Structure 1
């Protein structure tokens, strides 16, 4: 593969692949290592006639992650806490805490989904991939992606509603 092509692919897909890998593993260093390994594989083994480079790179990144996961046999830990500035007002601080809590709960709700549904939601909404691209990465049909995405959104809504009920219940007891 020509170095210019690889550099161009890197500049186009590096950020979104990093976010995808980070969402899978939850660790910056691991996501960076996997990202570099993905592009190394692209340098060494990219099929010349491949029509969808983006889907191919996602598939390589995903496979590298799961291979690494199998080797280490450990759970995926995700999330990082943000540090709050001392100069924020109480109102800003409260809003930020509430927003962070909503993000954490969305993350928890996504983590409750089965693995394939999690990946579809992450690829569709956080990476902006099409159903066709997701289907290529997961080796399923676009129709199956559509159905699983619908079911995942339905489950997410239910999980988020349960969280809101629990939160409201905690507020009532105070």
Structure 2
């Protein structure tokens, strides 16, 4: 009789553990899916690839959810997984890139056409930055990460990240100023 009770408890415990893991995972997906997709889109510039990368990120997160000790670090943890997943696609296949216009993100549907045009323009200017400057800037602006968090994600020194952010903002400002100056002289 003692053995029967002993066998029921582990089964019940396993079910509770699985339910707890599923709830934790579901809350991560609900809370961070949009941010991860937005970042993936910035990385690859293609909505369908961004969806695939985001899905693969959450699949990997499910498999190693027990390694996430602090839920406050979940966003940075998932961004790191996403960056690695993005890098894996280049290991698997070489893509032929061309200068194709980026499609609009779904959450831009409520914007006016002027706002969409301005966003598209800024997005194009950011995409002209070198990756070493663009990536920290996107993590800060889109991801909302601090310099320290960006340093952890990119595995860089915090001072290096802060320098890159400073240079990225200055380069972006130059690009925007030069474009506006050319626009005025042409108009």
Please say whether Structure 1 and Structure 2 have the same fold, judged by a TM-score greater than 0.5. Answer: yes
> What is the TM-score of this pair, normalised by structure 1?
0.80
Q: Deviations over 1:52-105 (max 9, x none)?
A: 2221110000111122134332238662159xxxxxxxxxxxx734x4443233
Equivalent residue number for residue 124 of structure 1: 140
Question: Could you tell me how far apart the structure 1 residues matched to 2:121 and 2:68 are?
Answer: 43
1:68 aligns with 2:89: yes
Deviation at 1:170, TM superposition (A): 1.8
- Mean CA deviation greater in 159-168 or 47-56: 47-56
1:80 aligns with 2:103: yes
Q: Specify whether residues 106 and 134 from structure 1 end up closer, same or farther in structure 2 by C-alpha distance, changes over 3 A only.
A: same
Structure 2 residue ranges without an equivalent (≥5): 1-17, 106-111
1:5 aligns with 2:24: yes
Structure 1 residue ranges without an equivalent (≥5): 83-94
Which structure's relative contact order is higher, taking Cα pairs within 8 Å and 6+ residues apart? 1
Preserved contact between residue 58 and residue 137 of structure 1 (Cα < 8 Å)? yes
Q: Specify whether residues 150 and 47 from structure 1 end up closer, same or farther in structure 2 by C-alpha distance, changes over 3 A only.
A: farther
Aligned residues: 158
Larger Rg computed on CA atoms? 2
Match of 1:41 among 60, 72, 76: 60
Match of 1:15 among 30, 34, 38: 34
Match of 2:113 among 92, 96, 120: 96
Preserved contact between residue 151 and residue 161 of structure 2 (Cα < 8 Å)? yes
Give the secondary-structure state (helix, strand or coil) at the position aligned to 2:156. Answer: coil
Give the secondary-structure state (helix, strand or coil) at the position aligned to 1:73. Answer: coil
> What is the TM-score of this pair, normalised by structure 2?
0.75
1:152 aligns with 2:171: no
Structure 1's consecutive aligned runs of 4 or more residues displaced over 6 angstroms after TM superposition are none
Give the secondary-structure state (helix, strand or coil) at the position aligned to 2:180. Answer: helix
